[in-house]
Structures are given as structure tokens and as C-alpha cells.
Amino acid sequence: MAATPVYLEVGKKRVFACSLDWPGWCRSGKSEEAALETLAAYAARYAPVAELAAARFPASAGKSLDVVERAPGSATTDFGAIGVVPAADSAPLSSGAAPDIGDRRFSRTAERGVRFHDGWHTARGLIKNQERLRVLP
């Protein structure tokens, strides 16, 4: 079982632990340990997201996390939002490592939409509807 690479965004009051391989799988805590524990605990909740994109999310993804980068956070981090782009995201990828963003499965997932408090919206409408976004359980 390979460990899941993650990075930490470390603020003064809050820490985010985010997967480098699985966009959007990111959780926070008051300490590095708490953020990593919460990220691991949310693995099962993230699996359906990967499934919608027709990607295989390993059942063991949350069992072993490997911190490969620590980035200093900011006021944004302490407020409760990720605000740092990890260095790993700027590194060039080999052609075999990069997903094809134009791939129909990713487009299909975006078209299925995002749930807002007043209904479902497709990814195209996200920018116009940001003010209505709220976190759902």
C-alpha cells in the first residue's frame, strides 16, 4: 500500500492537510496532527467524488499519509480557506502522469453540477453563483 502524498498549509491558528493526487480532498484542524487525522477520516466521503469522475479512489488512500511539503499559511488559512499553491503543483508533469483535462469523464462530472442551497448548478454557473455557495454535509 503506497502512502498518499499530502501537503500541509500551516497557519497560526489553523492547518490544512491536502492530497496532492486527489484535488478537493482537503481538511483542516487546529494542529498538523488534527488536520491529518481529519483528512484520513474523510477519505470515505471523498470516494464518491472520484467515482463520479470515473477514477479509482483506493480504499487505502486515508490509511497512510505522507507529508511531502509544508507551506506557510496566511490570514486566509486562519480564516478557514486554503490560500497557498504547493510547490508540487508547479512542477512539470510527465505526459503519462497528467490527466487529460479534456477527458469526457471530467467534463461529465463538471456537468453533473455542484449542489447549492437553492438547487444544482453546473460548473459553468459557478462563477456567477459563488455568493450562493454554502458547505453541505
pLDDT in tens, 29-81: 999 999 999 999 999 888 888 887 777 888 888 899 999 999 999 999 999 99
More confident residue, 92 or 17: 17
The pLDDT value given to residue 120: 41
More confident residue, 99 or 30: 30
Q: How far apart are CA 20 and CA 13, in angstroms?
A: 22
| CATH architecture, domain 4-90 | 2-Layer Sandwich (3.30)
Q: Are 32 and 22 in contact (CB under 8 A)?
A: no
More confident residue, 35 or 24: 35
Stretch 82-97: mean pLDDT: 73
Taking the alpha carbons at both ends of the chain, their separation in whole angstroms is 29
Q: What is the pTM of this model?
A: 0.68
Can you give the residue ranges of every domain in the chain? 4-90, 92-132
Residue recorded with cell 480557506: 81
Candidate ranges 12-16, 108-112, 132-136; pick with highest mean pLDDT: 12-16
